[in-house]
Structure 1
Amino acid sequence: MPLVIVSCVFIIIGILVLLKERRSFFGGMIFAFGGLFLTLTLLMMGLFKIGEISTNISTFVIIIVYALFPLIFLGICAFFIFNTHTMQTREGRSVTAKLSALLGINLLITVPAFFYLLSVGAGKVPTWLFSILIFALLSDLLFSFLFACYLFYSWMYQMIPIKKKVDYIITLGSGIRSEEVPPLLKSRLDKAIEYYHKNPNAKIVVSGGQGSDEPVSEAFAMKKYLLSQDIPETHILVEDQSTTTFENMVFSKKVIFQDWKSKDSAPIILFSTNNYHVLRGALYARKAHLKAEGIGAPTALYFLPTALIREYIALLTQYKWFTLSMILACLAFVILSLLPI
């Protein structure tokens, strides 16, 4: 019951923060943490409660806990590991392509090692070594669980429908190799076109500069594609100086407010990117003081795990205070648990 109360407290805090600003990383992660932890707690409580009813049901519960759950866990790990093979086959060998395999192997090692260490106890391992190992494994498991929380928050953010009349649709650029847009960037543009047809008076802002290895700016290639899809040139605004997502938001904001004629009201703005990138894009929009909500274009299933892991790492790097606070929380927990009662 205490775990249920703690989970509910996290959920309430998260809701209060998100009601004020739904693009809050802290609020979203707190809400997701509470929601997932409450779900797991209630699931385990329910299974053990059912197990007390009769011997037959108790046996069934034991099978679920000690057989089905491990199989699901192994299946998830296998999926991440196999996904790297698919990524390397379709996208080529790179460090990024190995991220999903690293996660799968990490889970395969960390979870059994953590429970084995707990079963052995501090008595059979030197206290200093036990403390270091528990701290390292606990931190690893916490950040793995927070990855699941991030996935839930990212999904939840995109599930809220956008029904307002839209004035501007920013399309975030991605790498190009020629004047033709690649499939990833095309999907972002197609999503922007989808919302443009719902709001024919809106303008599409193509946002992306020219990298050292790109023949033209991303904005140039994006505008060329939009024109080929019968989008009027007068409804296309070009921002071709940005090199990062944050700059996409800052420079697009400048372009929009230079074009916006009404001084009595603020424009309704969307930004289009791929579904795995929507949440981080929204957080950057908030950082740029741009009131804009994100819409996500579909991404190939094989590409999603690696892309989501990369986004998660980027967020942990961006929100260093959050990462550090989680590490300190694990350290405090280990220290307190080893203190004599």
Structure 2
Amino acid sequence: MPVKTALITGITGQDGSYLAELLLAKGYTVHGIVRHASSLIANTSRLDAVYQDPHDAERRLFLHKGDVTDAGLLNNLVRDIEPDEVYNLAAQSHVRVSFDLPDYTANVTALGAIRLLEAVRAARIDAKVYQASTSEMFGTAAPPQSETTGFHPRSPYGVAKLFAHWATVNYRESYDMFAVSGIAFNHESPRRGETFVTRKITRAVARIAAGLEKKVYLGNLDAVRDWGYAPEYAEAMWLTLQHGAPDDYVIATGRPATVREFAEAAFAHAGLDWRDHIEHDERYERPAEVPALVGDPAKIEREIGWKARVHWDELARVMVDADRAALSG
């Protein structure tokens, strides 16, 4: 069987790194687009486990400088690589930050997706495309949310993702492209960025347990979310592109918890009482809150055969253990 080639945008992020590991383990050749910061040094730390010697003739992981704001780069890269599968995971993905940087968020998260879709279409290749959609598109829609639930995004990030989602549907219907939107609900791991609430909590637990801090400051503790484990969600992304026909799929556990409940579980795992260490800070409140996001994964379980195995309480323990190990080691 010929070796498959995949292109991943956002490869250095949480999801991209887990997806790269998964595809490499399955024998793929993997190309990733890496956005360079002002330091001119790309942060590839999440890829350390699979990054190979660039002089190794057998290497199957290739990183390319650039980002999804550059249509010319995307066109050239897709044409030259001719990937079998394309995964668009690139985004400005922090919801609170999107209120401060709405234009940048739209350029990367919304227009980046359509630039990539157009690059695949223009290259006239038979590539399957995965678009990383998000539960934030649902906003104030009543839970549980499924593929047929109406959208009502409540942030520039959610609005930008909705544009990308509908662009994916449009290219699928207009050009007969194998284009899938995976509507992923919150998914976390020890590789989650430190500004996201789950990792902020588990990192604080590790530091408080070690005597390095006393408090952590959070926003809305009553927000309800459906938290899953990122490596499992990377597997779901891949599985949707192996299915016989493209469609949209909610990727979720279906088991909700509040931020307060997640924090309570995380602190308890370290023998601490969360009430002694959490303080409210209104600076972390969103201008427009999303009260409850809870996914209905029935369709992906039925049609694809994927089902979440790790749920929010176990996830909290996994992340606390990883942060404590990292701090001590």
Higher strand proportion (structure 1 or 2): 2
Higher helix proportion (structure 1 or 2): 1
Normalising by structure 2, we get a TM-score of 0.30
Please say which structure displays the higher CA radius of gyration: 1
